[in-house]
Chain A
Amino acid sequence: MKRIALMAALLVAPSFVTAPAFVSSPAHAAEECEAKSWGLSGQKKECFSAKVVDLLCEVAGDCPPNCGAGNRQLGLLRADNGKLVYPQKNLQQSFNGAVADLHPHCGKTIDVRGWFVGDEDTLKGAAQLYQVQWIRSAGGDWKKASKWTKDWAKKNPGAKGKGPWFRRDPRVKAQIEKEGFLGLGRAADVEFAKEEY
């Protein structure tokens, strides 16, 4: 009877409610925290377990299904201290965020390797900003957080060609065409190029 009561209680707990923090971090107790240094401002290497959450849901209570289907920024709710970490960046060196790598783990607890970045002493608000380099799902192997460009290629089959994605991306090209490299219109670009190059 008591077991049934427990099951019932678990079932009625709303799905949007943050799960109680897991107290253990078994992935890291006996492992070295391995992550590659990028020489960033205020960087601090850290590996931890965390639940992947939709930030707008977690912070403001706006909670669509499936963490916003990969369109919203995602957060890492740490198992060890309950703090909400903002993963700004993945492992790729081509201007990509971390959502493509994290979204498959929406609502699940994963292990991450990476770096906190930003010098809180000189820049206000640097707390809890993170570059996620490696991800491991429960029972899985470590995988590089480098999925973004593959996803982009699938979404942009007409943008094949030489050079990195950001030179070929239709939206980027349209935006630069519209407002110039400096954001001030073509005339400003022309003036700048004549002076600079």
Chain B
Amino acid sequence: MRIALLAALVALAPLGANAATEGKKVSLKGELIDTWCYFSGVMGGPEAVVGSAHHTCAIWCAAGGIPVGMLGEDGDVYMILKLPEDDASAGGDSFVELTNDTIEAEGTVYERDGLKYLVVSEVKSNLGVANLNHEDFGIVPGFAIPKKDRKALKGE
């Protein structure tokens, strides 16, 4: 009898256990950010680890497979699971190339356990790196530009 009950439970499990959540179609505008530095505070406050100040580090992180998210105009961070034609969210080329760009996108948002996930279906526009916060914070981290490159940039 117990075995029969178990069998019934297992057979019925798929009906309730499929965890894929209902998505919501959205149009969003925001900057694609390095979510680790943003949330962990490992390199300072959140306002310093976005934009031009943090661009080089964000490229390292995106290429290193750290999740890229969109910091929306509403202040929410949408963890991006897919860009158009690119589901390589762990270090894929599109994720590296769009880092710190502010884009207008259409896609689907899924909410699960307090996090918002974004599947981008189309990038409608790309404003490039639009947050020029290096004017306030310099470059974060300070070693992002190697000494030899600093000299080269200064023409030395």
Report which A residues bind B (CB closer than 8 A): 2-3, 5-6, 8-10, 12-14, 16-20, 38, 40-43, 55-62, 68, 70-74, 77, 83-86, 88-89, 94-100, 117-120, 123-129, 131, 148, 165-167, 169, 171-172, 175-176, 179, 181-184, 186, 188-190, 192-194, 196-197
Contact = CB atoms under 8 A, between A and B. Distances in A.
A40 B42 CA distance: 6
A155 to B, nearest CB: 10
B79 interface: yes
Contacts of A74: 90
B19 A9 contact: no
Interface in B100-149: 100-101, 108, 110, 112-117, 119, 128-129, 132, 134, 138-139, 144-146, 149
B67 A18 contact: no
Among B60, B110, B139, chain A packs the most CB atoms within 10 A around the CB of B60
Contacts of B65: 96-100, 148
22 contacts: A13-B13, A38-B42, A40-B40, A56-B81, A59-B81, A60-B110, A62-B119, A68-B87, A72-B81, A72-B90, A84-B113, A84-B115, A89-B40, A95-B60, A96-B65, A97-B65, A119-B41, A120-B114, A126-B39, A171-B93, A172-B63, A183-B52
Contacts of B29: none
B146 A167 contact: yes
Given A40-B40, A124-B75, A183-B128, A86 B67 contact: yes
Contacts, number: 236
B90 A71 contact: yes
Contacts of A19: 17
Interface in B38-61: 38-42, 46, 52-53, 55-57, 59-61
Contacts of B60: 95, 166, 172
B66 A96 contact: yes
Nearest to B51: A183
A17 B16 CA distance: 9
A197 B115 contact: no
A59 B3 contact: no
A18 B113 contact: no
B7 interface: yes
